[in-house]
Structures are given as C-alpha cells and as structure tokens.
C-alpha cells in the first residue's frame, strides 16, 4: 500500500529596503507558504519503506 504525507507552514515576514527609490523603502510584508510531501510504500514492520 502506498501512502502520502503532506505538510505545510505559512509565515508572515516584514522588512524594508533603506535608501531604495521605490515603495520597498517603506516597511512592508510578505506571506510565504512552505510545503513538503513524501510518498512511499508502507511496510508492516517499520512504516514507510526507503526503497524506490
């Protein structure tokens, strides 16, 4: 049997770029989403198999 595990984390960050001539010189923020997924065959003795 094959199984898939997916996890994600979202984070908000803020920064400014001093001496920049655009709107980036003002404090502003971004939202980032990091996502990871693993997939593998499940074996009875140890969980997910590392083969394949």
**C-alpha to C-alpha distance for 41 and 12, rounded to whole angstroms:** 35
User: Global pTM?
Assistant: 0.51
CB atoms within 10 A of CB 17: 13
Task: Say which residue, 17 or 2, is predicted with more confidence.
Answer: 17
Domain presence at residue 13: yes
Q: Which residues contact 45 (CB under 8 A, 6 or more apart)?
A: none
Domain presence at residue 47: no
Q: What is the DSSP letter of 1?
A: -
Q: Which domain holds residue 29?
A: 2-41
pLDDT digit string, tens, across residues 6-48: 999 999 999 999 999 999 999 999 999 999 999 988 877 666 5
pLDDT at 47: 61
Domain presence at residue 50: no
Domain presence at residue 46: no
pLDDT class of 50 with cuts at 50, 70, 90: low
Domain presence at residue 26: yes
> Looking at the 3D structure of the chain, how many domains does it have?
1
**C-alpha to C-alpha distance for 45 and 39, rounded to whole angstroms:** 17
Domain presence at residue 49: no
Domain presence at residue 33: yes
Domain presence at residue 25: yes
Handedness of CA 7, 13, 17, 22 (dihedral sign): positive
């Amino acid at each position: 049997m094959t199984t898939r595990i997916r996890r994600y984390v979202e984070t908000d960050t803020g920064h400014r770029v001093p001496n920049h001539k655009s709107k980036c010189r003002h404090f502003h923020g971004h939202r980032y989403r990091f996502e990871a997924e693993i997939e593998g065959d499940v074996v009875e003795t140890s969980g997910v198999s590392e083969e394949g």
